[in-house]
Amino acid sequence: MREHPRILFLTSSINYPAFNKRINALSDDTMSSLVLGFERNFEYPTKDVQISTVSLGKIQNGNYWKRLFLILKAIRKTAEIVGNYDTVYCFGLDMAMLAVISTLFSPTKTLVYEVQDIRPTQTNKGLISGIVRKIEKIIVNISDCVVVTSQDYICQYYENILRLKTENFIVIENKLSHAPARQNITNFDNTTNVEQHLTIGYFGSIRCEKAWQYLLQLCEKNPHKIKLKIHGAPSGIDNFDERLSKHSNIQYLGPFLDPEQLEEVYSSVDVVWAAGFHGKASYAWSRSCRFYNAGYFNKPIISQDLTSEGKVVKNLDIGLTIDISDPASMKKIEDISHQNLKTWKRNLAALPQDMFIHNGEHKRLIEMIRENHEHNREARSRKTIQNTSFKARN
């Protein structure tokens, strides 16, 4: 009879929406699980995880050196707790390092390393980035499973830059976890007169300064033609409220609940803004949550040129690609027509639903975790037998 693994989720934020979404998707009544992590301040509402949590203390956003000190302080407590679990599921490189150090003197554990973002310190030149890459190569090589949110992370970073074998990798994109209610997506004529008035939706975490500057200029240039609706929370944007207040055609509606309010939010706009650099080295390799949400709700997408997401938008003709570094590209948005919207929405509606919604990916990951758990459990049993035999002979 197969023994069910006991999973410890190790996270740098026990209230981060993307982490909690994954934990809830992997929660299984047959498995004993716990979330162990740090507390961070987020303005964004998040759905609580369905399992118990234990705090390792509070850390500040973006203060990486102070965070490192607090992580080192957490080793003892983590080591005490990790001994009760068979599998350690780590979100991010810092948590994977904490897991490896905390399990040095523990029996064989199944280690799962999830990468949602690839940050500049992983791709930059210089001594620090070189050390980070060497550490990550060690982490990947000792991990039983590596979860990434984009296939391009594997091709562009782990294979091309780190030169690693990736047989133990699994891709789980930032898709919707289930199919929420939505309006009739085949009513292609149900669009506003966008030649006169175009409503752009900017949703989720508002953290790309370049994208924000571009949208402010677009709205200032087109006070009657363009309306911008913002549902989300600004992060790292200076003087957000002050700059916002200068534009009567920008409406800030605050954060929203995901997935409860997704349909309400996305149905209120003509196109969804997904262009930007988002402060990460991996922007060109990933697809944003907005891409999947917009696709499911049949809303055309404005994406960044020369990115993985932009290539999909252009090749499938489901929206517009621009370069936010070039103000001249604003004309492409200003020229969006009623026929453009009809074409993009018709093309979106023809796409398979599992392009935007998970379809068994989490079940495959759970099965991989169970298989690795069984393998490691058998390895522990063999080691115990060998040790017993050795003691008997001596």
CA nearest 356: which of 267, 296, 310? 296
Give the closest residue to 274 by CA, choosing from 211, 184, 327.
211
Determine the Cα–Cα distance for residues 140 and 307; give it in Å rounded to an integer.
25
3-state secondary structure at position 36: strand
Tokens of 391: 């003691």
Token representation of residue 226: 């363009």
Q: How many CB atoms lie within 10 A of CB 192?
A: 14
Q: What is the pLDDT along the chain (394 residues), one digit of tens a residue?
A: 456 788 999 999 988 888 988 998 888 655 789 999 998 876 666 667 788 999 999 887 666 667 778 888 999 999 999 989 999 999 999 999 999 999 887 767 899 999 999 988 899 999 999 999 999 999 999 999 999 999 999 999 999 999 999 999 999 999 998 888 887 777 666 666 677 889 999 999 898 999 999 999 999 999 999 999 999 988 888 899 999 999 999 999 999 988 889 999 999 999 999 998 765 667 889 999 999 999 999 999 999 999 999 999 999 999 999 999 999 999 999 999 999 999 999 999 999 999 999 999 999 999 999 888 887 776 655 554 455 444 445 5
Cβ neighbours for 97, distance < 8 A, ≥ 6 positions apart:
71, 135, 139
User: For 201-214, b where at least 16 C-beta lie within 10 A, e where not — what string?
Assistant: bbbbbbbbeebbeb
Full set of structural domains in the chain with CATH:
6-172+359-393 (3.40.50.2000), 198-355 (3.40.50.2000)
Q: What is the DSSP string of 60-81?
A: -TT-HHHHHHHHHHTHHHHHHH
Q: How many Å apart are CA 253 and CA 11, to the nearest integer?
A: 29
Distance, in Å, from the CA atom of 159 to the CA atom of 105, rounded to the nearest integer, reads 31
In sequence order, the 6+-apart residues with CB closer than 8 A to the CB of 67 are: 12, 38, 59, 60, 94
Q: What is the pTM of this model?
A: 0.89
Q: How close are the terminal C-alpha atoms of the chain, in Å?
A: 34
